[in-house]
Amino acid sequence: MSQRQNSQKWHQQKRWIIGSLLLFPPLGIPLLWLTRWPRAGKIGGSVFSGLLLLTVLTGAASKPTVTTALSERSTEAAPQAEVAPSPAYEDAIAEATAASAELTIAESSVDWANVARKWQNATTSLSDIPISSDDYGQAQTKIAEYERNYDYAISEKTVARSAEAVTMAKRQAEEQQAEEQQQAVVVAQEAETVMSIVEDQGGGYVGGTCKDLAASGVGSNFTPGDVNYTSARDRDGDGVACES
């Protein structure tokens, strides 16, 4: 150790500062900023130490733990006799194992709803275990764990449902636009057909009902002598056909 390091107090020595940043950030970060190190190094060390602390504090609750088998059960039975788990405990572990398997492949809101239902069923089964049971202590521990897993599944279900709603709205808008475009094409084709009939007739008689004639622009209120006047169109016989 150099003479300069020997003259420094412990909290000014690099090894103590780095060690504090890694093991106890609340102490390490203030010590870092009391040094004469470059500002960039202080910022980088503070960010790294803060992220390390945040990872330690939140890492355990970021995702549900996976229950895999009945072997997780810890018993307090006497060494000379192994106590079999109660049916309610076995049912809970079976539901939790199924939920753990499904959450790894869940995508849709329906998938996450099924996962949440299994965690809820597992919690309900554990809640039915009486205090007199050898499984009671372990059941209470797992109830807290399964309730966290249930909340996680519900939050993922909400996210998936929002994404599905956006996708559905987009699809409906596209389908509606396509339908409107198709209707516009049909109307244009019908109008073109009607105009073609009128042009082909050269201003003469045009077949169709009075409604068709009015819609196609041929006219209405035809009187005798008009090529489009017929007795069939003059139902009341008053001498005016296709009265408007």
Mean pLDDT for the chain? 77
Question: For residue range 90-149, what is the model confidence (pLDDT) as tens digits?
Answer: 998 999 899 888 988 999 999 999 999 999 999 999 999 999 988 899 989 999 999 999
Percent residues over pLDDT 90 in the chain: 20
Q: Which residues, other chains included, contact 217 with Cβ-Cβ below 8 Å and sequence gap of 6+? A: 194, 198
Cα–Cα distance list, 101 to 24, 49, 67, 105 (Å): 37, 35, 9, 8
Where exactly are the structural domains of the chain? 3-59, 87-193, 203-244
Cα dihedral sign for 129, 135, 139, 140?
positive
pLDDT along the chain (244 residues), means of 10: 53 68 70 71 70 67 50 47 76 90 89 93 92 90 92 92 89 89 82 59 73 82 84 84 82
